[in-house]
Each structure stands twice: as C-alpha cells, then as structure tokens.
Amino acid sequence: MFKCLNVKMLKCRGFTLLELLVVTGIILGLGALMLVNYRAGEQRFALQRSGHKLAQDLRQVQEMAMSAREIETVGYPDGGFGIYFDLSNPGQYILFADCNANGKYSTGHSVCAPGIPEIIEEIFLESKVEITDISPSSLPAPGHLVIIFNAPDPDVSINKGAAAQAQITLSLKTGETKIIKVNKAGLISIE
C-alpha cells in the first residue's frame, strides 16, 4: 500500500493506520455533534411553528366573528366564535361556535342545530410541544381558558369577561417557551 522512494532515507508516500483512525474519529465526532444540534433546532422550530399556528388560529376565530360568518342553517351564532384550552389535554385546543351564548365551550357533543356541531375544528399541536400554562384559569373549572370574539362591535370575552388579558404558554420539555397573549381589544401577540 505504501510506496517508499528511498529505503535508506525512509521517505514514504501514504498515510499510516494511526493517521487514518484519528481523522475518521474527528469526522465521526463532528457528525455526532451536528446531529444532536439538528434535533434541538428541529424542536425549536416546532415550538415556533406551533406558536405562530396558535396566533393564526386566534386571528381566524376573530375574523369569523368580525365578518359575521354564518353557520349553515343556524346563521351567525348568538355568542360569537371562540377558542377553548384545557390543560388536561395539553396537546390540543378547540375552535368553536358559541351557539347558546353561554360564554363558554360546552364540552361533549353540544350542537348548534340538529346535525351541526358546536366544534368547528380540533387543533393538535406538533409532537413534543404542549400547552403548559394558561392564565387566567377559569375559576369554576381550573385549567380551562375560553376566549370568545363577537360582532358587530369588536367584543372580546376572556373567561366570560372576567379578565383583561389571556396568556397561553407553549413549551418544549427542554424548558423553552413561547407565550401568546390576547387582550380585551383583540390584540394578539407572540413573545
């Protein structure tokens, strides 16, 4: 494998086995570090995407209320449109129509009219991202948060009007968080 030019001076061309092992070890070590950082970056992007998706869904519910969107045979729901968070299901939230105008999400199989459910859509967060905190939490049922948008005036109700601002915290198991805030004026922000 090695070809020596001059045997007396021991000048050879090529690499020794030790040199090859050292270079291979360095390449493998750098590759492993890159893979670990890639996974961490992938999770951070999942958290960022989930935060922006939540803000987008809040804006969608707000837009449904402001445009007076009608539901099939029911028309505009009396209580407007809302979004519901439950800490016992930290991987999802629900977009709904408040057809009975009670200012809350009616769990179960509540309907606006026969064959027309109150639930508009169930949203599932990306894997490893979950809702870890909501404030204010509903007093009769801790761990719940309901934000309802209603027209014709831009009316925002947070837990039946009991709070001026809502805050939803999305987290990774690594401790990184994204906070989405909604105030009574309907301003939605991401921190």
The per-residue pLDDT for range 151-188, each reduced to its tens digit, is: 877 789 898 877 889 999 999 988 899 999 999 988 99
Partners of residue 188 on adjacent β-strands: 182
Residue 32 lies in a domain: no
- Given a cut of 60, whether residue 3 has pLDDT beyond it is no
Which residue is listed with tokens 């445009």? Answer: 67
pTM of the model: 0.78
- Is 8 inside any structural domain? no
Q: Is residue 1 part of a domain?
A: no
Per-residue pLDDT at 5: 55
Q: What is the CATH number of the domain that holds 156?
A: 3.55.40.10
Report how many domains make up the chain: 1
Residue 95 pLDDT level (bands cut at 50, 70, 90) = very high
The full DSSP string for 84-123 is EEETTSTTEEEEEE-TT-SSS--TTT-EEETTEESEEEEE
Residue bearing the bigger pLDDT, 74 or 88 = 88
For residue 6, what pLDDT is reported?
A: 54
CB-CB contact of 102 with 77 (8 Å): no
In a domain, 20, yes or no: no
Structure tokens at 125: 């967060």
* Residue 19 located in a structural domain: no
Kindly report, residue by residue over 20-73, the tens digit of the pLDDT. Answer: 899 999 999 888 888 777 777 788 899 999 999 999 999 999 999 998 888 887
Give the structural domain span for 135.
Answer: 39-190
